[in-house]
């Protein structure tokens, strides 16, 4: 799997390269500025891009803007955005096109190599990987204001949280130590209670998260 990596701090970039190579990823390019990233994304067409929000030359949200632009040019292009802080505002922008293949994680998540690599794979295969911090903020906020969420059982809320992070039913089942069938039942209940249409759409889960993000705005 070919990865384009954009990170301006040398130590972190070097570490990420080694980490990904150790897990059988091919590093197509490891760049440190926004323009370099744009060029690499357009020319190399990688399977997934791992991008720091803040990149030179502006050191603002250059990385995020490049990623968004790349996804406009090539819809569904998988992008995993890393940041020193997570903001719902940015999560919203990444998810806005509803096409999946996006991730938004705190840089700290790199500490847990397995989880991080798992997130990169998930994003590359069109799934989502939202940082638990984003999801938690979202759920606590929604719990305070939205009626439908009150109808969810604590277990269903737990499932929803993991689902919103972008995990598959199998992964959720493993995490909660129950059968996959039980999780399938929970997710069906959740969609029903939130009156979300259950369809065969691949990105149903993305739409679920999106529906949450847009609810009550």
Partner 1 sequence: MSIETKSGTGRPQTSGRTRGVALSAVRGLALALVSLPGAVICFCLTVVSIALIPIGVGIVTTSWVLTGVRAFADWRRLLAAEWGGVRIPRAYRPLPEGANPWARTFGMLRDPATWRDVLWLPVDMTAGFVSALLAFALVLYPLEGFVIAAGLWRAWDDTYWYGFVPVTDQITALYAACLGAALLVAAVRLSPLALKAHFRLTGALLGSGQGELAERVRVLTETRRDAVDTSAAELRRIERDLHDGAQARLVAVGMDLGTIEALLEKDPAKARELLAQTRQSSADALTELRELVRGIHPPVLAERGLGDAVRALALRLPVAAEVEVDLPGRADAPVESAAYFAVSETLTNAVKHSGADRIWVDMHYTEGRLRVCVTDNGKGGAVVGAGSGLAGLERRLGTFDGVLAVSSPAGGPTMVTMEIPCALS
State the residues that interact with partner 1 by CB under 8 A: 53-54, 60-61, 84-85, 87-89, 108, 111, 137, 140-141, 144-145, 216
Least distance in angstroms from the C-beta of 77 to partner 1: 22
160 closest CA partner among 198, 196, 116, 190: 190
Q: By C-beta, is 47 or 131 nearer to partner 1?
A: 131
Under DSSP, is residue 73 helix (H, G, I), strand (E, B) or coil? helix
CA dist 55 and 51 (Å) reads 9
CA dist 181 and 173 (Å) reads 8
Half-sphere exposure of 149 (CA within 13 A, CB side): 19
Q: By C-beta, is 125 or 137 nearer to partner 1?
A: 137
Q: By C-beta, is 22 or 113 nearer to partner 1?
A: 113
Least distance in angstroms from the C-beta of 212 to partner 1: 12
Least distance in angstroms from the C-beta of 90 to partner 1: 8
Least distance in angstroms from the C-beta of 217 to partner 1: 8
Least distance in angstroms from the C-beta of 115 to partner 1: 12
Element (H or E) spanning 71, and its range? helix 62-73
- In order of 62, 160, 172, 188, the CA distances from 184 in angstroms are 39, 11, 10, 6
Q: By C-beta, is 48 or 139 nearer to partner 1?
A: 139
CA dist 138 and 158 (Å) reads 13
Q: By C-beta, is 138 or 194 nearer to partner 1?
A: 138
Cis peptide before 57 (omega within 30 of 0): yes
Q: Is residue 206 within 8 Å of 95, Cβ to Cβ?
A: yes
Least distance in angstroms from the C-beta of 15 to partner 1: 15
Q: By C-beta, is 146 or 180 nearer to partner 1?
A: 146
């Amino acid at each position: 799997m070919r990865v384009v990596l954009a990170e301006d701090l040398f130590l972190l970039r070097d570490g990420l390269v080694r980490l990904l190579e150790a897990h059988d990823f091919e590093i197509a390019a490891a760049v440190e500025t926004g323009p370099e990233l744009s060029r690499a994304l357009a020319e190399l067409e990688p399977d997934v891009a791992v991008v720091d929000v803040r990149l030179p030359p502006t050191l603002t949200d250059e990385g995020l803007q490049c990623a968004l632009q790349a996804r406009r040019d090539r819809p569904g292009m998988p992008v995993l955005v890393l940041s020193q802080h997570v903001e719902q505002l940015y999560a919203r922008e990444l998810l806005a096109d509803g096409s999946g293949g996006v991730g938004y994680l705190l840089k700290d998540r790199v500490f847990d190599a397995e989880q991080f690599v798992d997130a990169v794979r998930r994003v590359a295969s069109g799934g989502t990987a939202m940082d638990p911090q984003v999801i938690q903020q979202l759920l606590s906020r929604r719990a305070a204001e939205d009626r439908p969420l009150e109808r969810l059982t604590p277990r269903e809320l737990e499932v929803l949280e993991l689902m919103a992070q972008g995990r598959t039913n199998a992964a959720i089942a493993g995490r909660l130590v129950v059968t996959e069938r039980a999780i399938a039942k929970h997710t069906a209940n959740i969609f029903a209670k939130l009156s979300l249409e259950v369809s065969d759409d691949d990105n149903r889960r993305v739409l679920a998260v999106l529906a949450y993000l847009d609810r009550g705005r």
